[in-house]
Amino acid sequence: MTARLSAVISVRNTLRTFIALALCAIIGRDVRAQSAALAAFCNPASIPAGAGTPADFRMRTGKLRGASPAGGVSTAGDVDLPGLVAALREELDKTRAALSAAESQAIERQIGRIIDVGARRTPPDFDTRPRANQPNPGGSFVLFVGMPDSIVVAEATPDAKKRAVCFTAIEARDIISDYMLPSRVALASALNQRVDRWNNFHEEGYSLFIPELLVNSWFNLGRPQLEPPSNQIIFLHPSVGVEAPVPFKTGVLGSDAMLLEGLGILHYNDDRTGYFGISAGTVFGQNERPGLAFVAHYGEFGHLGYVIRSKPSPGDPRRNTLIFSADLLKALNAIPGKWKAESDSANKVLQGCIQHMSCNP
């Protein structure tokens, strides 16, 4: 029984090993496995602090990076790129003896290209890429991967060469990053402003229903990529408003009605905080036949439409009407209220003046 059990376990273990090897190929990690010892030279986060490290170089060249006394890098575009490249060369000189002549030249060539960044050309590639285990069981890092003059750093590589290759690569990447920082920060700010325009478009703009989303997606109307619409098509857009007969007699009195705008167009300002436009549609009122409406839109004031209804007979007393958006009606009704409140307040002050023979509003 025990022998049978151990045979089963043995078969199971063999199978597991087989599966593990097959899965090894599946996960693919084996080819990029890097030991912690190697990472201590080539992975910036793993490099212990000390003199001659990339962090130390960074601190020593702070002035050339426009760093403030509090640290960090200038975003004002005053990074001294030629100065930093010269400093990098000086730094490399300290460890250059660990490199072969060909390796030294290869690195030198790429350092010379760092200055290209200032002319907006593609910078040199200083990434150290992890590569296959064999013949290096602890993994390896390759600088200038895929190129004829690539340099391999493995666990068995002398520390001086590891330093010369990996530290120089990390310092070069830092220089390029610092030089690009101001324009990258500027881009982040510009992209966030574009998001603000989208937020304005939703919060201050005219809402979009599904059919309108489709139509405005089909017809671009000059909208730049990733920008909110600057021209918006109104298409089958329903809204609830108040319909009032014209001319007004005693203020704006009306009844609820529904406006269905068939087609229209709106134009937005640059930051999408306001718009104006026109549309045509149909009004469905209470106890009324549908009417034809011509509507004007003006941003925060909402919309105002003139409604024409056919009369059943020439003598029919029914009149044409206006339709207001709820927002506009609120604004209109607020005007007399505001005027009355201000007038009441002025009267009160006047009465006080008369009573006390002095004015202290």
Partner 1 sequence: MTRLLIVVHGMGSNPPGWSDSIVQKLDSVASRYSAFSTGAPFSKQCTIREVRYDGVFERHIEDMGAKAAEFKKFQDEHHVPLPKLMEWLTGPTLPSQQQSFFWSTLMDAILYRAFAVVRDEVRAVTMAQIVSHCTANMRSGAVQASILAHSLGTAVVHDTLQLLATKPQLGNDSFTAAAGWHFESLFMLADVCRLGPPKLIDLPDADAGYLVRPRSAGTPGDLASFYCNSLYSFRHEFDPFVRWAPFLPKNWGDDFDNPTPLKPVCQANVHGFDHYLDNPVVHVPIINDVLGFSAISTKEALEAVAHYPPSNPVMCTDQVNQLQSLVSQLPDAGQDLEQMAILGAQFFTTAKQLANDCKALGGDLGA
Binding window for partner 1 (CB under 8 A); candidates: 12-20, 83-91, 329-337, 353-361? 12-20
First-last CA distance in the chain: 107
Sign of torsion, CA 62 64 66 68? positive
Q: Please give the residues from 138 up to 177 whose contact with partner 1 meets the rule CB under 8 A.
A: 139, 144-147, 170, 173-174, 176-177
Nearer to partner 1, 92 or 174 (CB): 174
> Smallest distance, Å, CB 107 to partner 1?
13
Enter the tokens of residue 315: 């003598």
Calculate Rg over the CA atoms of the chain. 37
Binding window for partner 1 (CB under 8 A); candidates: 69-77, 91-99, 329-337, 350-358? 69-77
Task: Note whether 228 binds partner 1 by CB under 8 A.
Answer: yes
Query: For the packed helices 101-113 and 81-95, what is the interaxial angle rounded to 10 degrees?
Result: 170
> Per-residue x/- marks for partner 1, 23-52, CB under 8 A?
xx-xxxxxxxxxxx-xx---xxxx------
Q: Please give the residues from 321 up to 360 whose contact with partner 1 meets the rule CB under 8 A.
A: none
Binding window for partner 1 (CB under 8 A); candidates: 3-11, 87-95, 187-195, 329-337? 187-195
Task: Note whether 220 binds partner 1 by CB under 8 A.
Answer: yes
Q: Under DSSP, is residue 133 helix (H, G, I), strand (E, B) or coil? A: coil
- Pairing between β-strand 291-298 and β-strand 128-131 as defined by DSSP bridges: unpaired
Task: Note whether 227 binds partner 1 by CB under 8 A.
Answer: yes
Distance, in Å, from the CA atom of 209 to the CA atom of 38, rounded to the nearest integer, reads 58
CA distances 128 to 10, 90, 256, 356, Å, are: 43, 21, 70, 88
Task: Note whether 202 binds partner 1 by CB under 8 A.
Answer: yes
Task: Note whether 109 binds partner 1 by CB under 8 A.
Answer: no
Task: Note whether 185 binds partner 1 by CB under 8 A.
Answer: yes
